[in-house]
Each structure stands twice: as C-alpha cells, then as structure tokens.
C-alpha cells in the first residue's frame, strides 16, 4: 500500500526569502514602486514625484507588479 504523500509546509523564513527574491526579479521601476508603496507606505502621488511620472502610471505599474508577484509566488500562496 503506498504511503500518503507528505507535503512540507514552508516556514515563514522560506516564504520571506521567496518574496525578496521575486521582488528582486521585477523590472526596476516596478520594484521601486513596490518597495516605496508596500515597505515605506508612500502614496501614489509621493511615488510619482520620486519617479517623475503620473500617479496613474504608478497605479498601473503597481498593479502589474502585484500581478507578476502573484503569478510567481502562487506556489507559496496555497
């Protein structure tokens, strides 16, 4: 009789390492926006001023970055 397959539950450290590595793989402008938005809690207007673009451009790039992160980290989100 085959044994039930055991799945390893990733540790918080493993997940954090995966998130950092995936953020590092983003396009530079997306990475900057994610870091400023999520880790420095900056507004879209503040980020737009730093990157010399519009707040709408920041919103769009952040949306795309989050989509990419969600896709690449899907195995960690289960």
DSSP characters over 6-38: P-PPPPHHHHHHHHHHHHHHS-HHHHHHHIIII
Sign of CA dihedral 73, 15, 32, 44: positive
Q: Which residue has the tokens 């390893």?
A: 8
- Whether the Cβ atoms of residue 72 and residue 20 lie closer than 8 Å to each other: no
Quick: pLDDT tens for 27-39.
999 999 999 999 9
Quick: pLDDT tens for 61-72.
999 999 999 999
**Average confidence score pLDDT of the chain:** 90
Has residue 3 got a pLDDT over 70? no
Ordered domains of the chain (ranges, CATH): 28-76 (1.10.10)
pTM higher than 0.85, yes or no? Answer: no
DSSP characters over 36-54: IIIIS---HHHHHHHHTS-
């Amino acid at each position: 009789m085959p044994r039930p397959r055991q799945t390893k539950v990733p540790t918080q450290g493993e997940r954090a390492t995966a998130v950092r590595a995936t953020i590092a793989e983003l396009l530079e402008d997306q990475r900057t926006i994610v870091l400023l938005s999520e880790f420095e809690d900056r507004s879209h207007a503040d980020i737009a001023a730093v990157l010399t673009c519009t707040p709408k451009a920041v919103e769009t790039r952040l949306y795309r970055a989050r989509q990419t992160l969600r896709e690449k980290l899907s195995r960690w989100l289960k």
